[in-house]
Amino acid sequence: MKSQAEIQTILNQLRSQGIENEVVEFKEAKNQYDFNKIGKYFSALCNEANLKNKRSAWLVFGIKDKDKSIVGSQFRTSRADLDSLKAEVANHTTGRLTFKEIYEVAAPEGRVVLFEIPAAPKGIPISWQGHYYGRDGEELNALNLEEVERIREQSRGEDWSSGIIEEASIQDLSPEAILKARESFKRKNSHLVEEIDQWNDETFLNKAKVCIKGKITRTAILLLGKSESEHFINPATAKISWILRDKDNIEKDYQHFTCPLLLNTEEVYKKIRNLKYRYISDGTLFPEEVDQYDAYIVREALNNCIAHQDYTLSGKINVVEHEDGKLVFINSGAFIPSSIEDVVITDAPEPTYRNPFLVEAMINLNMIDAIGSGIKRMFNIQRKKYFPMPDYEFTNDKVKLTITGKVVDINYARKIASVPDLSLVDIIALDKVAKSKKLSAAEIKDLKNKGLIEGRKPNFHISVTVAKVTGEKADYIKQRGIDDEYCQKIILDYLKKFREGKREDFEKVLLDKLPDVLSIDQKKNKVRNILQKMRREGLIVPEGKIWIMSKAEI
């Protein structure tokens, strides 16, 4: 994060340019500014910074475009409200990319807000709500197809994983890893077993597409290299860290693993304590017990981290085991597909990969799926156990996958078990409702059309239709809460009995009766709104901070 002095220097430099260009945009934004336009400018400035080979672009509020004078901006004056814009923007961009940082400068003429926008990652044009934007000088417009392809071609032209290491030889590879690779390759190509046995190591490694014409690649070091050979891929690393944390998120144990990753992924798997999960007895809906973490999920998640890691960022892969029943996988690099939902629905291999040579080698060595259905299978495994869906987060050039090894919400589990014909897409969306996560407009429309949810954005809850099927009628009433008409009746009954009351008195009566999906502040706002509605309708009148019934109602 830049210091205030650095930001002041940057602001002076941006203002001194005289005119806007493709990577700088000034807005007065004296009070508020349209959220959708912020998103469009974010996409445009991201893409233009990439095309102009700049590390960042800038959107600046509180500056007059014409003469670059400071006019001051009151846009989101609360720091918490300003910071929340990062997540709000990420919800609508490719790979959940968002601002690097948001800065405020208190100039004598007024407050200036500077949004630092990262350049689109190499090979990944950034969209806003599914559309790519760019700039023609000062004008905001759609990014043309030629520019979209220019960005995409960046990743096609260079594959880090296929790079040759001239100084390395086959002696820098682990004999045990090569033997394991042969066994895996034979399972993959059972019709060639006798022929494979006749190949020497160099021929085998070429045929398995781990090496290129006998030369050692970065992929060969990652998957088969001796531990002391890791230096060949500097500044990249081949490290996987397993970390055990207790229920208070305090680290209890850890271990680091390096190449050969073909062997050491199994060692990481052995470190994970895969306990049995026993279900609370509930008729015949649930099995008696299952493993917390399915072996396929753990191996698929870990191998995906290896395959899709951006090794140019010099990060390591983390596998964090939480004693309260969560397993978290973290790797470096933006998520290339548009969304995890698209991957699950499409159920097909991605057309492009960050490390195509590495991916092909891992397919040949039977480490990952060749047909691209691994992620969907993970979702279906969790579904069959009635566990929460795999949870993906894409922030700060990292992909974070959380696997939950238990039933967190028994009501949600019963819904999934009891309602027939739910598609995997429906279940993923309902999983978001259970986790109080934001739904897309399409998900809201689909779930409402199917009668699966009720409520107002963003506070949705399970619908009465699902509640009837699952027997969760009490839970439904608790989630929905009482309606406005009944709230008014309670307030009028209170005033008839006690003649007067403060808003705090009505809150004491009503807060625990309002929907559980609302926060305390939202419940208080609802009570305030009901009182104002009753005032407008002539039912009650204020006397200072006290409310009394109107004469017409007495």
What is the Cα–Cα distance from 548 to 502, expressed in whole angstroms?
9
pLDDT digits (tens, 9 = 90+) for 331-387: 998 777 767 777 776 655 565 678 989 999 999 999 987 656 788 889 999 988 889
What is the Cα–Cα distance from 276 to 254, expressed in whole angstroms?
22
Confidence (pLDDT) at 346 = 60
What is the Cα–Cα distance from 504 to 361, expressed in whole angstroms?
66
| Alpha helix ranges (H) inside 242-309 | 261-271, 295-308
Residue 292: which pLDDT band, with cuts at 50, 70 and 90?
A: very high
What is the Cα–Cα distance from 62 to 79, expressed in whole angstroms?
16
Please give, one letter per residue, the 3-state secondary structure of 410-450. HHHHHHHHHCCCCCHHHHHHHHHHHCCCCCCHHHHHHHHHC
> What is the residue extent of each domain of the chain?
4-156, 161-233, 410-480, 484-549
Rounded to the nearest integer, the mean pLDDT of the chain is 86
Determine if residue 123 is left, alpha or beta; phi over 0 gives left, psi from -120 to 50 gives alpha, anything else beta. Answer: left
Q: Both tokens of residue 451? A: 């009668």
Let me know how long the chain is.
554
Pairing label, strands 459-462, 453-456:
antiparallel
For the residues 149-168, what does the mean pLDDT come to? 84
pLDDT for residue 20 is more than 80: no
pLDDT for residue 477 is more than 50: no
What is the Cα–Cα distance from 132 to 43, expressed in whole angstroms?
7
pLDDT digits (tens, 9 = 90+) for 225-281: 999 999 999 989 999 999 999 988 999 999 999 999 999 999 999 999 988 888 866
The CATH number of 4-156 is 3.30.950.30
Confidence (pLDDT) at 479 = 47
- Write the CB contacts of 299 (distance below 8 Å, at least 6 apart in sequence): 265, 269
SS3 111: strand
- CATH T-level topology, domain 484-549: Arc Repressor Mutant, subunit A (1.10.10)
Strands (E) located in 88-166? 101-107, 110-118, 127-128, 131-136, 139-142
Residue 475: which pLDDT band, with cuts at 50, 70 and 90?
A: low
Q: pLDDT above 90 covers what percent of the chain?
A: 50
Task: Count other C-beta atoms under 10 Å from residue 516's C-beta.
Answer: 13
CA 352 to each of CA 48, 154, 187, 222: distance values in angstroms, whole numbers, following the listed order: 22, 12, 26, 21
157-161, 264-268, 417-421, 497-501: range with lowest mean pLDDT = 417-421
Evaluate if pTM is beyond 0.85.
no
**Contact 49/117 with Cβ under 8 angstroms?**
yes
**Contact 135/48 with Cβ under 8 angstroms?**
yes
Determine if residue 397 is left, alpha or beta; phi over 0 gives left, psi from -120 to 50 gives alpha, anything else beta. Answer: left
Strands (E) located in 337-474? 391-395, 398-404, 453-456, 459-462
Q: What share of the chain is helix, strand, coil (3-state, %, to 5)?
A: 45, 20, 35
What is the H or E stretch that residue 546 is in? strand 546-549
What residues pair up with 320 in beta bridges, in sequence order?
243, 328
Confidence (pLDDT) at 288 = 78
pLDDT digits (tens, 9 = 90+) for 186-220: 998 989 999 999 999 999 999 999 999 999 999 99
Pairing label, strands 110-118, 131-136:
unpaired
For the residues 426-438, what does the mean pLDDT come to? 82
CA proximity to 358, closest of 298, 406, 307, 421: 307
Please tell me if the domain spanning 4-156 has the same topology as the one spanning 484-549. Answer: no
Pairing label, strands 56-61, 24-27:
parallel
CA proximity to 87, closest of 35, 130, 137: 35
Q: Both tokens of residue 233? A: 């891929």
